[in-house]
Amino acid sequence: MSETPRLLDPLFRGVFADLFDDNRRVQRMLDFEAALARAEARVGVIPLRALAPIEAKCRVELLDFRLLAHAAAAAGNLAIPLVQQLTALVARDDPHAASYVHWGATSQDVIDTGLILQLRDAFALIESELQRLGDAVAQLVELHRNTLMAARTLLQQALPTTFGFKACGWLDALGRHRGRLREVRRRSLVLQFGGAAGTLAALGQKGLAVADALADELKLSVPDTPWHSEHDRFAEIATVLGLLTATLGKIARDISLLMQSEVSEVQEPLGPNRGGSSTMPQKRNPVGAVVALAAANRVPGLISAMLAATILEHERGVGGWHAEWELLPEIVTLTGGSLLQMAEVISGLRIDVDAMSKNLEETRGQIMAEAVVMALAESIDRTAAQAIVREACACAAAHRINVRDALLDDARVKEVLTVTDLDHLLDPRNYLGSVNQIIDRVLTSWRSAK
């Protein structure tokens, strides 16, 4: 059975859309039902001869999706009509085995565990792509640790930095996200199995034995208690992915700003028809950055809805649980699509070193003003030093001259600094502080945690 992809899925979600399409959703629910039958046969809750007939029908292509969709609208969830169809399929070959379908479970067990299985697939891909992105950023950091450029604060040139150091900030954040993903996966990818009200009463004294066997079949951890109305795990997944999406958006924002025609310090990878315009042949638009920023705009609102949905009533939520069915897959697929796009962008990012150097000289030396102030402040009052350099910068801007010339015209400067001193201070290479030590520290952290 194949589905026609939604037109925008390749742009915004990529392969992550496949992990949460209707076929995969239903198959993961059927995987739960097959595993439940195996577990209960192992423990002796259902007859062993009922297992094969049930397993044989837990295949998504055997179900009538149109009937399933219409029945779900009446039933209130997918699990009820799914179990009905599965039971009918088994009954055609073995009526006796059909009576053991879904034995002792409830709809939420099927739906939540099915979603957990989808999330496990998604986490594996997310972590793989995050590693690919981080490794690509690490290469940029190493390659461009000495590539001078202007640091910008409030969108204005501030001090000299290096492109490697800018990318180092990205890498440091990605390392934290890698740690968060590992933690949330450990805490959240657990079995949901509690029966009608969480007590497993329908299974008598064998409830926990079935839960253990079921978790073993699905390769999931067993939580201390069923979590039908405690959905902090899903909320945590959403918020952790939201943080990752925000960092991807920050990287995308930096890249899109650096791609502006007036700056033009980086470019996204070249490719047939990539980043073009329908009418302007000269355009080189950001593509991956646009997708990442779109996700960063959309996901926070979805997370807010997820947090609201976490407040569930008694032993089964009214509406909140149901809201998660589309919210969480939307968050995962948007995050995944953003990650895929940014991994491609960073892996092929084109750096224009000459443009960075040219832009660094745009203020005719004013970008080095702080360095001069700090040097003067060793001999005169710092406030006075700031005033002197501020006057020189204003003069340089007004007369469109280099700040070096303006400073050399000031007797107060010449009393403290020689021409050689000033030339040293106005060289951006001499005002990078601890850039290389910080880069080494972040690279070591990224690589050692791999």
Whether 77 and 175 share a structural domain: no
User: Which of 185, 187, 274, 316 is the catalytic position?
Assistant: 316
Q: Would the pLDDT of 317 be above 80? A: yes
Domains of the chain: total:
3
Q: Report phi then psi at 153, rounded to 5.
A: -120, 135
This model's pTM is above 0.85:
yes
Q: What is the mean pLDDT of residues 423-445?
A: 97
Assigned domain for 431 exists: yes
Q: Would the pLDDT of 160 be above 90? A: yes
Whether 117 and 258 share a structural domain: yes
Assigned domain for 432 exists: yes
Residue 3 pLDDT = 60
Q: Among residues of the chain, what percentage have pLDDT more than 70?
A: 97
Q: 379 an active-site residue?
A: no
Whether 316 and 366 share a structural domain: no
Q: What is the mean pLDDT of residues 143-162?
A: 97
pLDDT tens for each residue of 361-388: 999 999 999 999 999 999 999 999 999 9
CATH number at residue 11: 1.10.275.10
Q: 277 an active-site residue?
A: yes
pLDDT tens for each residue of 121-145: 999 999 999 999 999 999 999 999 9
16 touches 340 (CB < 8 A): yes
pLDDT tens for each residue of 323-334: 999 999 999 999
C-alpha distances out from residue 86 to 25, 97, 145, 238, 444, Å: 15, 11, 60, 31, 53
Whether 233 and 249 share a structural domain: yes
Residue 285 pLDDT = 85
213 touches 42 (CB < 8 A): yes
Nearest to 354 by CA among 252, 260, 262, 264: 264
Whether 151 and 50 share a structural domain: no
Q: Among residues of the chain, what percentage have pLDDT more than 90?
A: 92
At which of 303, 334, 360 does a domain end? Answer: 360
CATH number at residue 306: 1.20.200.10
Assigned domain for 196 exists: no
Nearest to 36 by CA among 107, 123, 121: 107
Whether 142 and 231 share a structural domain: yes
Whether 286 and 176 share a structural domain: yes
Whether 355 and 365 share a structural domain: no
Whether 263 and 356 share a structural domain: yes
Whether 166 and 98 share a structural domain: no
Q: Would the pLDDT of 277 be above 90? A: no
The residue count for the chain: 450
Q: What is the mean pLDDT of residues 240-257?
A: 98
Whether 161 and 256 share a structural domain: yes
Q: Would the pLDDT of 225 be above 80? A: yes
Assigned domain for 297 exists: yes
CB-hemisphere CA count at 13 Å for 177? 28
pLDDT confidence bin for 10, thresholds 50/70/90: confident
Q: What 3-state DSSP class applies to 28?
A: helix
At which of 360, 388, 423 does a domain end? Answer: 360
CATH number at residue 410: 1.10.40.30
Q: Would the pLDDT of 165 be above 80? A: yes
Assigned domain for 45 exists: yes
Whether 295 and 343 share a structural domain: yes
Assigned domain for 315 exists: yes
Assigned domain for 197 exists: no
User: Which of 221, 277, 304, 445 is the catalytic position?
Assistant: 277
Q: Would the pLDDT of 81 be above 50? A: yes
Q: Would the pLDDT of 274 be above 80? A: no
Distance of CA 263 to the CA centre of its chain: 28
CB-hemisphere CA count at 13 Å for 32? 31
Cα distance from N-terminal residue to C-terminal residue, the chain: 38
- Structural domain harbouring 417: 361-448
Of the listed ranges 1-5, 324-328, 430-434, the one predicted with least confidence? 1-5
- Please give the Cα distance from 184 to 42 (Å, whole number): 31
At which of 360, 382, 401 does a domain end? Answer: 360
The tokens of 277 are what? Answer: 């315009």
373 touches 163 (CB < 8 A): no
pLDDT confidence bin for 1, thresholds 50/70/90: very low
Assigned domain for 134 exists: yes
